[in-house]
Structure 1
Amino acid sequence: MSLTAAIQSVSALVSSAKSSSFLGQGVGPETRFTSFSMPLLPSRKLSVCKCVSAAPPTEQTAHKTKVARNANMAKLQAGYLFPEIARRRSAHISKYPDAKVISLGIGDTTEPIPEVITSAMALRAKELSTFEGYSGYGAEQGEKKLRAAIASTYYKDVGIEENDIFVSDGAKCDISRLQLLFGANVKIAVQDPSYPAYVDSSVIMGQTGLYQKDVEKFGNIEYMRCTPDNGFFPDLSNVSETDVIYFCSPNNPTGSAASRDQLTKLVNFARANGSIIVYDSAYSMYISDDSPRSIFEIPGAKEVAIETSSFSKFAGFTGVRLGWTVVPKELVFSDGFPVARDFNRIVCTCFNGASNIAQAGGLACLSEEGLKAMNNVVNFYKENTQIIVNTFSSMGFNVYGGQNAPYVWVHFPGRSSWDVFAEILEKTHLVTTPGSGFGPGGEGFVRVSAFGHRENVLEACRRLKQLYQ
């Protein structure tokens, strides 16, 4: 088939689909696929397909199974935050089809992956077409060279070895695997506000009670309030004993990084209470001051902590999917059994290892040239962050974050964060993220992402000044 004929065939299929059940119909009750246009540059538009939350259909099917729905799924509130934002964005585009909508909401990278990294992936892909270069299943824990490179690059001076590292398809995926590891009979603690995957995966696993609307919290979760008043670090004297503590630094969404003294207090708290810390360091390359980049810089952490990280925000791997989790050999359960051995079993049971092409890219990231290229990209986003910080500060807002993370946490006291989100979207065609989506402690705040093309960030700031000055 010629290229022209192929294009005509696809066009015919899409045209037919518009009047059929191919798009937006005939799918599961919780999910539909909605196509919309996402402007990235003034002269370029990219059509993408986003999974968004939708109301269950009113029509009943003719047949029902006898399989009961997982009751924990019914505990979840509304849709997952980012698909809900995508749904509202799509509705806004339908209402204003000629508007140039700029997204500073979801933390998705926008700049191209450096060529030194993509060329390594391309070479690995090409090698797969040869007998000499082909490889099938790899080690579930990751390729030995990559594990060694991660250990020597990020953990050289803290005693973490390559066998402590499990390469994966991303930190978010590993969070769910860790939930499987711990099982249903644990109590977790989370920063409030925090990345919603920690709470939602805990709910799905069955670790929580019902959602309490009056306080906007789930039962059996310890919400560790992090506010400007306490420097975005919880008062641990008010935290009850918990089994697993999820802690992200630099934090998503507040952008704050915990100091060495604060992390020492956290490690000592975990040791005293017999807890395990799950430390999310996905933004560690954005740290500009002397804040620790790894929990394992703190003495005693190897006996109480797991660390998960990712190439997503370092190298633009949000779509490539590559990350890692560190489970030190020193970490054991209450009966003395090594945590790493159980996590290895989870990985071997539920995962066939990260893509060998992605791992080739990861190895290139950690070369001398790759590290330099990643730092250049990170610095670009940090410049975007400073532009956003300066914009809100110049208008008199209280602004947090920005120094050590690609997120700006803006305070709108006395206002609903969803109302502010809606106001900014309606009046400026800008997508942000409502703070309450990260927990009750986020009410009254909006998170603004610095991931974006420079011209879009500058235009977004111009529109914000028109709205609020």
Structure 2
Amino acid sequence: MSLENHHPLTSISSSTSGFLGQNKLSIRTQNLSIPAKNSGISRCIATPTLEKNEAYKTKVSRNANMAKLQAGYLFPEVARRTEAHKLKYPNAKVISLGIGDTTEPIPEIITSAMAKRSYTLSTIKGYTGYGAEQGEKQLRSAIASTFYANLGIEANDIFVSDGAKSDISRLQVLFGSNVTMAVQDPSYPAYVDSSVIMGQTGQFQTRVEKYENIEYMKCTPENGFFPDLSTVSPTNIIFFCSPNNPTGFAASREQLTKLVQFAKDNGSIIVYDSAYALYMSDDNPRSIFEIPGAKEVAIETSSYSKYAGFTGVRLGWTVVPKELLFSDGFPVAKDFNRIVCTSFNGASNIAQAGGLACLSPDGLKAMQEVVGFYRENTNIIMETFNSLGFKVYGGKNAPYVWVHSPGQSSWDVFGEILEKTHVVTTPGSGFGPGGEGFIRVSAFGHRNDVLEACERFKQFYK
């Protein structure tokens, strides 16, 4: 099904260059008469003069790497265009199936544990201040036994954090600016943007829509959304997300075995993002550490955000196995521990109480129910686009539907859908050049909103 017959929404400029110009600073020239020492002569000293409309500037140079970043970060840009649409259509009911933000209430078995911990802080006996930067021992042990049982991962290998996204940036600080990096294309944009900010890349190449010095591992329907590793140039770091955001693809055991061997052959470190592992509906690995030898070449990040609705609560973790060593034999975990202790005072003790409750038998059951709800939303969206004749991917192992719209700019398709249906999606090109020609539709939404959005799609594309 082609979208070519519909008129795209005119793109909206993302320039913020006028920000500093909003506060004008004007200083009049003043001549100050200051008596000279041991002399009857007065000297005139002029104060600095600024033109009427010239803003004061410091002498601090801007980080040149920030200037390499293209436009706005994907999700704030989607939000900005959505707000502009709401101003244009103030009476429209705008439904968001764009940003992957959860919508359903956190199960009470979890919130009650957070409430109890919160009230305990108001007592002398129950009050606690700073905790261990790596996380509370009981929670680290529970994560190890729940998600990494029989995989050789221990509590001391786990660093509890305020979310996987934060840990991605901390890992980039750990690696420094002199490493090379590979990333799935398309993939979560934080991997690339954090690499740019750290100075690991060259300039953005507009013609191919890629940064210099990043190895883009193309993932398409033609290769089953798993890169042809025989064509991938070796790099120091490999970012890999499974189930993938945005395509929804989950790598098989055989494919991850090839990835681990590829890393070993080239001396690389894999940063494996398993934020959607609980959505897996088949027998694909939930963790990279299910693959023999992975502890020697991999780090794994994960999060409670999409498992338990903790997008606002903020809680995640990163696994750095003791077996993972730098080229000089120094343990990676020791340096990451130093980064964590320098930049972070530990996750909220209230959030950690909720995280621990999630891993109780009742908490795990409650989380599975939440995940099951979003799976049902995903099926509704998949069925809708399939019925309209689109080529649709993902959905089975992740809460994202990857819809193909060949021959059109994905930002144009995003704008067209927003303009005609008042539904927010996410343009595929925001996830990398390999995402051009696709849109991502998120299953995170209230059921009535998902059903209404799908009815609007049907009316528009019928």
Q: TM-score, normalised on structure 1?
A: 0.88
Are residues 1:76 and 2:69 paired? yes
CA pair 82-458 structure 1, distance change in 2 beyond 3 A: same
Residue 64 of structure 1: CA displacement?
1.1
The unaligned stretches of length 5 or more in structure 2 are 1-13, 26-54
User: 2:249 corresponds to which letter in structure 1?
Assistant: S
User: 2:392 corresponds to which letter in structure 1?
Assistant: V
Q: Is the 8 A contact 1:53 1:83 kept in 2?
A: no
Q: Is the 8 A contact 1:428 1:463 kept in 2?
A: yes
Q: How does 1:427-446 map to 2 (within 5 A)?
A: 427-446=420-439
Q: Select the residue among 194, 207, 221 that pairs with 1:214.
A: 207
Q: Distance in 1 between matches of 2:241 and 2:15?
A: 26
Q: Is the 8 A contact 1:177 1:346 kept in 2?
A: yes
Q: Distance in 2 between matches of 1:196 and 1:63?
A: 34
Match of 2:49 in 1: none
Q: Distance in 2 between matches of 1:133 and 1:184?
A: 43
Are residues 1:280 and 2:290 paired? no
**Percent identity for Structure 1 against Structure 2:** 79
Residue 262 of structure 1: CA displacement?
0.3
Q: Select the residue among 166, 173, 185 that pairs with 2:178.
A: 185
Q: Distance in 2 between matches of 1:282 and 1:57?
A: 36
Residue 92 of structure 1: CA displacement?
0.3
Q: Select the residue among 1, 9, 18 that pairs with 1:56.
A: 18
Q: Select the residue among 296, 310, 330 that pairs with 2:289.
A: 296
Larger radius of gyration: 2
Are residues 1:398 and 2:360 paired? no
Are residues 1:194 and 2:193 paired? no
Deviations 1:350-374 (A, max 9, x none): 0000000000000000000000000
- The runs of at least 4 aligned residues of structure 1 exceeding 6 Å deviation read none
Q: Distance in 2 between matches of 1:183 and 1:192?
A: 22
Q: Select the residue among 91, 94, 118 that pairs with 2:84.
A: 91
Q: Distance in 1 between matches of 2:78 and 2:211?
A: 22
User: 1:125 corresponds to which letter in structure 2?
Assistant: S
Q: Is the 8 A contact 1:247 1:279 kept in 2?
A: yes
Are residues 1:120 and 2:113 paired? yes
Deviations 1:284-329 (A, max 9, x none): 0000000100000000000000000000000000000000000000
Match of 1:145 in 2: 138
Are residues 1:421 and 2:414 paired? yes
Match of 1:357 in 2: 350
Q: How many residues align?
A: 418
Q: Is the 8 A contact 1:389 1:399 kept in 2?
A: yes
Are residues 1:318 and 2:311 paired? yes
Match of 1:463 in 2: 456
Q: Distance in 2 between matches of 1:297 and 1:57?
A: 49
Match of 2:47 in 1: none
Q: Distance in 2 between matches of 1:227 and 1:236?
A: 13
SS of the residue 1:314 aligns to: helix
User: 2:395 corresponds to which letter in structure 1?
Assistant: G
Q: Distance in 1 between matches of 2:84 and 2:15?
A: 12
Q: TM-score, normalised on structure 2?
A: 0.90
Q: Distance in 2 between matches of 1:173 and 1:224?
A: 23
User: 1:365 corresponds to which letter in structure 2?
Assistant: C
Q: Distance in 1 between matches of 2:455 and 2:447?
A: 12
SS of the residue 1:190 aligns to: strand
Q: Select the residue among 300, 305, 316 that pairs with 1:307.
A: 300
Match of 1:15 in 2: none
Q: Distance in 2 between matches of 1:393 and 1:180?
A: 43
Deviations 1:122-156 (A, max 9, x none): 00000000000000000000000000000000001
Match of 1:243 in 2: 236
Match of 2:405 in 1: 412
Indicate the structure whose relative CO is greater, using CA pairs within 8 Å and at least 6 residues apart. Answer: 2
Residue 56 of structure 1: CA displacement?
3.5
Q: Is the 8 A contact 1:250 1:404 kept in 2?
A: yes
Residue 55 of structure 1: CA displacement?
3.9
SS of the residue 2:217 aligns to: strand
User: 1:57 corresponds to which letter in structure 2?
Assistant: F
Q: Distance in 2 between matches of 1:140 and 1:66?
A: 36
Match of 2:31 in 1: none
CA pair 348-53 structure 1, distance change in 2 beyond 3 A: farther
Q: How does 1:166-185 map to 2 (within 5 A)?
A: 166-185=159-178
SS of the residue 1:467 aligns to: helix
Residue 401 of structure 1: CA displacement?
0.3
Q: Is the 8 A contact 1:53 1:87 kept in 2?
A: no
Q: How does 1:3-82 map to 2 (within 5 A)?
A: 54-57=16-19, 59=21, 62-82=55-75
Q: Distance in 1 between matches of 2:153 and 2:391?
A: 39
Residue 53 of structure 1: CA displacement?
7.6
SS of the residue 1:245 aligns to: strand
The unaligned stretches of length 5 or more in structure 1 are 1-51
